[in-house]
Amino acid sequence: MLFQRINRTDAETVFTIVYNISAATVTAGYPVVWDITSPDGVSVSKPATATLSCLVGIATSDIANSAYGKVQVYGYKASAYVTNNVTTAIAAGNILIPVDAAWTLAYGAASDGKSGLVYAAESFATATTTLLAAANKKVFIRCL
């Protein structure tokens, strides 16, 4: 695990090393989850319905399939893939959750002071088409 050395002007961040077995490249900004087909705590894959709470963090660099790479598990991140929808705008502070079979985060709930693994750090307006397009947005990560 990688902990940034103390530097008061920078955000505190924590990273972990994972192994991509998703059969696809994990692009920087994508959320990844622990693999449950052959769990070992290293292998990660694309979010699925069963693994939404197994969120590990947000990739900080592209990770080729069957390769190791770095994932941010704590702290502020300026670019994580988030999608909007047609009914609910995302406000800064809202809880974001992974999406089944997608490499994006989406609105989960308003902040409640007791839950959440990833939070929006900026607003994201509604779109006219469902799952219009994911875009990199600012988030706070608390996946440790």
Partner 1 sequence: MLFQRIQRSDPEVIYQIVYNLAASSAVITAGYPCVWSIASTVDGLAVAKPASATLSLIVGIAVQDIANSAYGKIQCYGYRASAFVTNATDQAIAAGDVLVPVNAQWYMTYSAAGDGMAGFIMSAEAVATDSAPAAANHKVFIRCL
Residue ranges that bind partner 1, judged by CB under 8 A: 1-3, 16-17, 19, 34, 36, 39-42, 47-55, 68, 95, 97-98, 108-109, 115-117, 143-144
* Smallest distance from partner 1 to CB 24, Å: 20
Residue 49, classed as helix, strand or coil, is helix
* CA 38 and chain centroid, separation: 21
55, two tokens:
């969120």
| Min dist. Cβ of residue 104 to partner 1 (A) | 12
**Residue 31, φ and ψ in degrees, nearest 5:** -80, 145
The CB-of-99 to partner 1 minimum distance in angstroms stands at 8
Least Cβ distance, residue 117 to partner 1 (angstroms): 6
Q: Look up residue 104 and give its amino acid.
A: T
- Please give the distance of CA 120 from its chain centroid, rounded to a whole number: 11
Residue 40 or 129 having the CB closest to partner 1: 40
Separation CA 98–CA 118 (nearest Å): 9
Residue 2 vs 11, nearer CB to partner 1: 2
Pairing of strands 14-20, 55-59: unpaired
Shorter beta-carbon distance to partner 1: residue 26 or 95? 95
Write down the least CB distance from residue 128 to partner 1, Å.
25
Please say which residue, 28 or 116, places its beta carbon nearer to partner 1.
116
Q: Smaller CB distance to partner 1: residue 5 or 9?
A: 5
Q: Angle at Cα 95 formed by Cα 136 and Cα 127, nearest 5°?
A: 50
